[in-house]
């Protein structure tokens, strides 16, 4: 594992946009595993989303292998296709017309995932993520610039083909190190727990979980949690056979209180919901591991109710 934080370089590797950037968080996660002397040969991410966390751990050669999954069929299809048929997505980006007509064609595909194949769903995921308001993939979200395209920011303002293709090709270079599953988080944890059950693998496997936010989840995700599902995740982690897990959440008092038996901190994260403004929101970091000293000086008084 790299020694010291200076040798760990955080990059915006993923072409997928999400409202809460994980760039600042990635560096902290690296500090956390250093503090606990974890060498994560295997990195497991059951809610992969934009994927910047596992990609940075691979790019910095901290992790050797990654197991990623997402219940959202669009997100799963994107990662699965990128690692199995990267040229298909690259060719799509090269030739696609970034306009309202394509937006609504892709929207129709995304809204009927069970009627469409994996490759076209992968393309729809990427296109809609780069052209939708804040990168959100819910059915109701419209295009950047609005239906009339009267904004200064048009539908193609986040679709730099050269940059996207460069990222796609770089990520595809990790194809032999990544396994992608269409599992929900329960099946992903069950698979990893069974597969990496030996003492050595168990010690060197790190789990990073970034479930749907507690607040306003229905506006941010196509697949989100009920209150009972948040409780289910808590119970599963409390019975988990490994302590090498890290959980990130939005700053909800219910979640803060639920995990009162774990190490918890509040972490300032940049959050952008449009092309014009970025604000700072606090996220919760929760883990049974020991937190680095740097975090204890940054803990705020309390999460919001």
Q: What is the pLDDT of residues 209-265, one digit of tens each?
A: 999 888 775 666 667 778 899 999 999 999 998 999 999 998 899 999 999 999 999
Query: What's the pLDDT at 270?
Result: 60
Query: What's the pLDDT at 300?
Result: 38
- Reading across the β-sheet that carries 65-69, which strands appear in turn? 178-181, 65-69, 42-45, 205-209, 245-250, 278-287, 263-272
How confident is the model over 117-137, as a mean pLDDT? 90
The Cα-based distances of 34 to 5, 130, 239 in angstroms read 9, 34, 24
Query: What's the pLDDT at 226?
Result: 82
Query: What's the pLDDT at 71?
Result: 93
Q: Is 82 helix (H, G, I), strand (E, B) or coil?
A: helix
How confident is the model over 26-40, as a mean pLDDT? 93
The answer to whether residue 136 scores a pLDDT higher than 80 is no
| pLDDT single digits (tens) 192-202 | 999 998 877 88
Of 201, 218, 206, 207, which Cα lies nearest the Cα of 185? 207
Q: Does domain 5-71+183-296 have CATH number 3.40.50.150?
A: yes
How confident is the model over 126-154, as a mean pLDDT? 85
How confident is the model over 17-44, as a mean pLDDT? 87
Query: What's the pLDDT at 104?
Result: 95
Q: Is 70 helix (H, G, I), strand (E, B) or coil?
A: coil
Backbone φ, ψ for residue 11 (5° rounding): -130, 155
Query: What's the pLDDT at 105?
Result: 97
Q: Considering the entire predicted model, what is its pTM?
A: 0.89
Q: How far apart are CA 74 and CA 70, in angstroms?
A: 9
The answer to whether residue 206 scores a pLDDT higher than 80 is yes
Q: How far apart are CA 286 and CA 4, in angstroms?
A: 23
How confident is the model over 2-24, as a mean pLDDT? 76
Query: What's the pLDDT at 269?
Result: 66
Of 37, 29, 12, 15, which Cα lies nearest the Cα of 210? 29
Number of Cβ within a 10 Å radius of residue 61:
11
**Domain range annotation of the chain:** 5-71+183-296, 88-168
Query: What's the pLDDT at 272?
Result: 54
Query: What's the pLDDT at 278?
Result: 57
């Amino acid at each position: 594992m790299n020694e010291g934080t200076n040798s760990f370089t955080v990059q915006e590797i993923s072409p997928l946009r999400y409202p809460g950037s994980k760039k600042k968080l990635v560096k902290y996660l690296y500090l956390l595993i250093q503090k606990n002397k974890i060498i994560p040969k295997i990195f497991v991410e059951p809610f992969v989303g934009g994927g910047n966390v596992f990609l940075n751990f691979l790019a910095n050669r901290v992790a050797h292998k990654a197991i990623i999954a997402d219940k959202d069929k669009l997100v799963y299809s994107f990662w699965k296709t990128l690692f199995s048929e990267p040229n298909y997505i690259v060719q799509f980006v090269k030739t696609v017309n970034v306009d309202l007509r394509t937006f609504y064609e892709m929207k129709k595909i995304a809204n009927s995932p069970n009627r469409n194949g994996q490759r076209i769903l992968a393309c729809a995921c990427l296109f809609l993520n780069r052209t939708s308001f804040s990168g959100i993939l819910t059915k109701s979200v419209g295009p950047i610039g609005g239906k009339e395209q009267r904004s200064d920011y048009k539908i193609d303002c986040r679709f730099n083909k050269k940059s996207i293709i460069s990222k796609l090709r770089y990520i595809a270079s990790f194809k032999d190190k990544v396994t992608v599953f269409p599992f929900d988080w329960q099946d992903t944890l069950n698979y990893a727990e069974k597969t990496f059950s030996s003492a050595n693998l168990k010690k060197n496997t790190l789990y990073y979980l970034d479930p749907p936010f507690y607040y306003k989840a229905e506006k941010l995700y196509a697949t989100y949690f009920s209150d009972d599902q948040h409780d289910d995740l808590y119970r599963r982690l409390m019975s988990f056979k490994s302590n090498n897990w890290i959980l990130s959440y939005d700053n909800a008092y219910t979640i803060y209180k639920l995990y009162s038996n774990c190490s918890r901190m509040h972490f300032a994260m940049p959050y952008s919901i449009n092309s014009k403004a970025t604000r700072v929101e606090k996220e919760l970091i929760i883990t049974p591991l020991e937190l680095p000293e740097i975090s204890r000086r940054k803990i705020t008084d309390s999460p919001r109710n």
